A and B are shown apart, each in its own frame.
Chain A
Amino acid sequence: MVTGIITAVITGALIGCVYSLIALGIVLIYKTTQVFNLAQGEMLLIGTWLTWTMITVANLPFWLSLIIALLFSILLGMLIERFILRPMLGQPLLPIIMITIGIFSLLRGISIYFWGGEVQSFPPLFPIEVITIGFIPVSTHLLAAAIMATLLVIVTYAYFRFTRGGLAMMATAENVMIAQSLGTNVKAAFSRSWAISAMVGTLSGVLLGSIMGIFFGLSDLSFKAFPVIILGGLESIPGVLVAGPIMGICESLGATFLDPMVGGGIGDIVPYVVMLIVLVIRPSGLFGYKIIERV
């Protein structure tokens, strides 16, 4: 029983780190542009496909393929921002959500057009598949996801907090006009945020692809990241790292203890129920900004 709980907690935390990676990309964009990017899953997928193409078609070594794919994804992010989101500046929330859905559809069409619907695989990323921690065998990929999530969160947090570029991006989110009048290059800030988010997406996608295989269903995983973002707080980067594992643990504990009672599949629902509770009790999440409304 106790071993069951400990296993569930540890594996759950690791699964949650995978969600954190995806969530990080969405939070990064939201932090700068106040746009909730529903298309993150597809951006992730295209970056992963690009890496795969470089490896299999161009026969480049893994690290080089990854770098090229990252550069491409930066370009993709910037293109999307410049041509699709820039014209939507100042629009209310709903059209912006709808346009990210449009981007989702568009990118899905592109990914199926170029890479088809079949499943492909990466060459193995790590020499060993399993590392045993104590008595629990843990998948190396998940461990790698956890490490990458932590690193990326630290790096991006530091970027936002300590560099001029990052601070400029936060200022833009606060109030675009004031930031602009104080000399911030707002357009560049927007571009940067989408570019960084696309890069983070590609990195997480590559990891996901090596766990589950690369196929177009991967983008549906991004919907699992939404509860993580709400729990952590929409604008909070460290929040993502805290909320991800928590959600993963909830899902895992749910699967361990509730599944036998309900007949299974409750793992899909637990994050949403938790999210609902969070929204009712404390909508800004653990670390998000509380919005004070004035009339």
Chain B
Amino acid sequence: MRLPSGTYNVSYEKDMAIIRTRTQWSIFILFILFLFLLPLIPGIGSRYVLGMVNMALIWVVAVLGLAILTGFCGQISLGQAAFMACGAYTSAILMTHLNISFWLSMPIAILLTALIGLFFGLPALRLKGLYLLMTSLAAQYIITYIILHIPALTHGGEGMKVPLAHLGDFAIVSATSNYYLILINAILATFVAVNIGRSQIGRAFVAIRDNDIAAEVMGVDITKYKLMAFAIGCGFAGWAGALSANNSQVISVEQFTLMHSLWFIGALIVGGMGSVLGTILGVMFIRILFEGSATLAPVMARMLAGEASIGSIGQLVFGLAVILFLIFEPRGLNHRWQILKAYYRLFPFSH
């Protein structure tokens, strides 16, 4: 990290710090304050915007898991939405059938999803690339099938009502209270993800991504770390799922389809793989694209006086946006942001 002149790292902690100078600390604290005070800002604090922000933050947690699994460790997974479903349904089932409170059922859901992820990660020990992708695709379908076929627990395809989380007597049901719940969890998740990336585990992951045979030769236990990557990645998905269950109050398999897994991967790529900031940017981009196409498509289609065109405009714009993005900026928004920062820092010089 570039430090301002006059700042020296005189200890290991100082050298490793993410937020190093006082300026950076103040910006950081202001930003966190801003996030917590968001609902109070008129206009932005409305149910609509908060609702969108909630969904986006839930996605951030899920895609952070994918960032660890695919971005850091290079294990491609098309099943992230199915693991989210695992987390959501586990949390809901524990709360409904065993009357466990949300604060306990969420961690259990995370652990259980991590275990399921571990199971589906076993093929990763033998497979790479496209083959691993197929395994995760199979996981997506199989998990959905299982959820649909244990109606005693999951109400099958009708969807399941989720009991609300309670803080004492206060039910976390409004957009604002959900916002705070999800925000705290999202901040925690980001903290965990960033630090995993900087730890020995993260380095092992990156080594495996770059060349797993070489990593093994150098002494990295790829079995342990690949399975760990799946466990952590799917654990994050379960986390997001449990939060999503409380937010929507009704869960059904249609919220966790293959298309959702694909959008997660899209958010990861658009943001820039292998970086936490990229994840956040990517999720924001995709959510805005969604909202935009869902709201504008009917309007545009009416204006263009086409009839069958309504549905198509949304899909068209989406596909086009993804294609253009991937062709012109395959390293993602994160890369653009780094370039922007460098430009600001070096201005008026170019290097």
Contact = CB atoms under 8 A, between A and B. Distances in A.
A88 interface: yes
Contact of A273 (B70, B142, B211, B319): B142
A260 to B, nearest CB: 14
Contact of B318 (A105, A272, A276): A105
A112 B308 contact: yes
B36 interface: no
Nearest to A86: B327
A105 B126 CA distance: 32
A295 B141 contact: no
Contacts of A87: 327
B97 to A, nearest CB: 21
A283 B126 contact: yes
Given A98-B269, A295-B214, A112 B315 contact: yes
Contacts of A103: 319, 323
A101 B123 contact: no
B149 A275 contact: no
B126 A109 contact: no
Contacts of A293: 213
Interface in B135-149: 135, 137-138, 141-142, 145, 149
Interface string B125-163: 011011101110110011001000100000000000000
Given A113-B308, A226-B134, A279-B123, A105 B327 contact: no
Contact of A268 (B141, B320, B326): B141
A91 interface: yes
A137 interface: no
Contacts of B109: none
Nearest to B313: A109
B141 A115 contact: no
B123 A280 contact: yes
Interface residues of A, number: 48
B138 A98 contact: no
B142 A269 contact: yes
A93 B129 contact: yes
B43 interface: no
A106 B315 contact: yes
Nearest to A276: B138
B319 A105 contact: yes
B127 A101 contact: no
Given A262-B149, A276-B123, A295-B214, A113 B130 contact: no
Contacts of B258: 223
Chief secondary structure at chain A's binding surface: helix
Contacts of A217: none
Interface in B279-315: 306-309, 311-315
Given A113-B306, A113-B312, A279-B134, A98 B326 contact: yes
Interface in A152-175: none
Contact of A105 (B137, B138, B265, B315): B315
B137 A106 contact: no
B323 A94 contact: no
Interface string B26-47: 0000000000000000000000
A230 interface: yes
Contacts of B134: 226-227, 230, 275, 279
B184 interface: no
B266 interface: yes
Given A99-B323, A280-B126, A283-B126, A109 B312 contact: yes
A69 B118 CA distance: 47
Contact of B138 (A115, A262, A265, A272): A272
B278 to A, nearest CB: 13
A109 B319 contact: yes
Interface string A102-123: 1111111111111111000000
Interface string B309-345: 1011111111111110011001000000000000000
A293 B308 CA distance: 50
B269 A94 contact: yes
Interface in A254-284: 262-263, 265, 268-269, 272-273, 275-276, 279-280, 283
Interface in B197-225: 211, 213-214, 217
Query: Which of B126, B142, B273, B326: most chain A CB closer than 10 A?
Result: B326
B262 interface: yes
A75 interface: no
A230 B321 CA distance: 30
Given A84-B327, A262-B149, A269-B145, A107 B319 contact: yes
A295 B130 contact: no
Query: Which of B265, B313, B322: most chain A CB closer than 10 A?
Result: B322
Query: Which of A112, A113, A114, A223: most chain B CB closer than 10 A?
Result: A113
Query: Which of B126, B131, B135, B217: most chain A CB closer than 10 A?
Result: B131
B129 A272 contact: no
Task: List 5 tightest A-B contacts by C-beta distance, closest first.
Answer: A109-B316, A105-B319, A106-B319, A102-B322, A116-B308
18 contacts: A87-B327, A98-B322, A98-B326, A99-B327, A101-B262, A102-B318, A102-B323, A102-B326, A105-B315, A108-B319, A109-B317, A113-B308, A113-B312, A113-B316, A114-B308, A223-B258, A262-B149, A295-B214
Interface of A: 36, 84, 87-88, 91, 93-95, 97-99, 101-117, 223, 226-227, 230, 234, 262-263, 265, 268-269, 272-273, 275-276, 279-280, 283, 293-295
